[in-house]
Amino acid sequence: MMIDILATAASVGFDPDLATRAYLDSLTGPARARSDAYFEGGYWLLLWGMLVSLASAWTMLRSGWSASWSRWAQRVTRRRWLQPALYALPFVLVSSLIVLPWTIYTDWYREKQYGLMNLGFGGWVGEQVTGLGVTLVVTAIALVIIFAVIRATPRSWWLWASATMALFLAFGALITPVFISPLFNTYEAMPEGRLRDQIIGMAKANGVPAENVYVFDQSKQHDRISANVSGLGPTIRISLNDNLLRRATPAEVKAVMGHELGHYVLGHIWILIGCVSLIFLGGFLLLWWLTPRILARWGERWGVHVPSDPAVMPLFTAVLAVYVVLATPAVNTLVRTEESAADRFGLDAAREPDAFASTAMKLSEYRKIEPGVLEEAIFFDHPSGRTRVRAAMRWKAEHLAELPAAQRAVMRPAPATVASPMR
């Protein structure tokens, strides 16, 4: 994004609110309308996605399919602990097929319509098949664990299942950078150079134990800029996508990487695992209380009689679908709070407030830039562009005298554009 210098600010007189307005006003006309329409449409996708999940669950229960899959697993093996894994195979495959039209619309057609998808339909299907394979394995393992806990502790399984899921989440965070992410993208060491040295320098200065920086080819999927510090212990790695290198200035790359390093330094992965485990706790408690009551009324019709039967899974997914939608404001607030803390850390680490603000404007391609206060609180899992630009300009005002002369200017980006026109 080209930066126009409007005026040179002295150590006093810099107005962060005016500077914020200058950035926000650079997104106008069709670009802003397209961004708002895309993001606001996502509000309805939450509701419709829940209804699609409920319809899928009802179909599997009412038709008797779920009960027949459980009986099939029992015929295949007498090992009760293995039966949920076998049940997972038809459950995942059939439920994925039921919702496939909805998935095609939300994940491919709509993204293509707004110019946010680079994959053709065939390429997208290929990635979906890979993702389906991962889902089959993960679901099979998870169901073995959860139903073993249900059988062993029928009165308190909600508590022990939540603790088990916390361990499962931590294990997932450990292996994802090494075994899952490379299934979808190619990771290569970032070429040596000044920018790579600056990123590693920031990492070392903040105690991030990473000796290399990886670049992954996400441009084959879309043009969104992205980076992360992922993994746990020996699998920790710093990664950024090729879009960030292609579309951002060196200062903007530093601003983004400062934010991502903040997630690691502030321990957000552990906080997130803990909080998600508490969310699981609420969901499992709801299932523990509600499932026997629902089965007492409709279980005979469905061929499902006890919560320890894997055939209950469609009912579990239906209850959790409603629970997740109702919990969305709380979950979004949790994530948004962590993102805001990482923003502050990144500003201190990279000391590139205008680069941070211009990057926030780039993200307006798919995030509404100026939502209402309540709208942001409910639907945004990251701070809005307005919130981020304002934070950057206030940081700049507080540290103006410390910045190099070249950074003391009042900046305004050129009019923002999206990656490609809506089709």
pLDDT in tens, the chain (423 residues): 434 433 344 445 789 999 999 999 999 999 999 999 999 999 999 999 999 999 999 999 999 999 999 999 999 999 999 999 999 999 999 999 999 999 999 999 999 999 999 999 999 999 999 999 999 999 999 999 999 999 999 999 999 999 999 999 999 999 999 999 999 999 999 999 999 999 999 999 999 988 889 999 999 999 999 999 999 989 999 999 999 999 999 999 999 999 999 999 999 999 999 999 999 999 999 999 999 999 999 999 999 999 999 999 999 999 999 999 999 999 999 999 999 999 999 999 999 999 999 999 999 999 999 999 999 999 999 999 999 999 999 999 999 988 887 777 655 555 554 443 333
- Its pTM stands at 0.90
As a whole number of angstroms, the distance between CA 356 and CA 256 comes to 7
As a whole number of angstroms, the distance between CA 255 and CA 415 comes to 21
How high is the pLDDT of residue 302?
97
Instruction: Determine contact, residues 230/177, Cβ cutoff 8 Å.
Output: yes
40 and 109 together in one domain: yes
As a whole number of angstroms, the distance between CA 365 and CA 35 comes to 6
How high is the pLDDT of residue 11?
43
How high is the pLDDT of residue 4?
43
150 and 176 together in one domain: yes
Residues in the chain: 423
Torsion, CA 188, CA 191, CA 194, CA 198, rounded to 10: 10
Q: What is the CATH number of the domain that holds 244?
A: 3.30.2010.10
How high is the pLDDT of residue 9?
40
Domain boundary pick from 235, 262, 289: 262
Torsion, CA 281, CA 236, CA 263, CA 405, rounded to 10: -170
Specify if 421 maps to a domain. no
As a whole number of angstroms, the distance between CA 70 and CA 147 comes to 13
> Is beta strand 3-8 parallel, antiparallel or unpaired with respect to 187-189?
unpaired
Specify if 271 maps to a domain. yes
Query: Residues 6 or more apart from 368 whose CB is under 8 A from it?
Result: 35, 36, 39, 40, 375, 384, 385
- The domain in which residue 317 lies consists of 3-187+264-413
How high is the pLDDT of residue 408?
72
156 and 166 together in one domain: yes
196 and 173 together in one domain: no
How high is the pLDDT of residue 211?
81
133 and 73 together in one domain: yes
Domain boundary pick from 262, 295, 319: 262
In 167-322, DSSP assigns E strands to: 187-189, 213-216, 227-230, 237-241
401 and 311 together in one domain: yes
292 and 407 together in one domain: yes
220 and 87 together in one domain: no
160 and 13 together in one domain: yes
| Total structural domains within the chain | 2
237 and 337 together in one domain: no
**φ, ψ (nearest 5 deg) of residue 110:** -65, -40
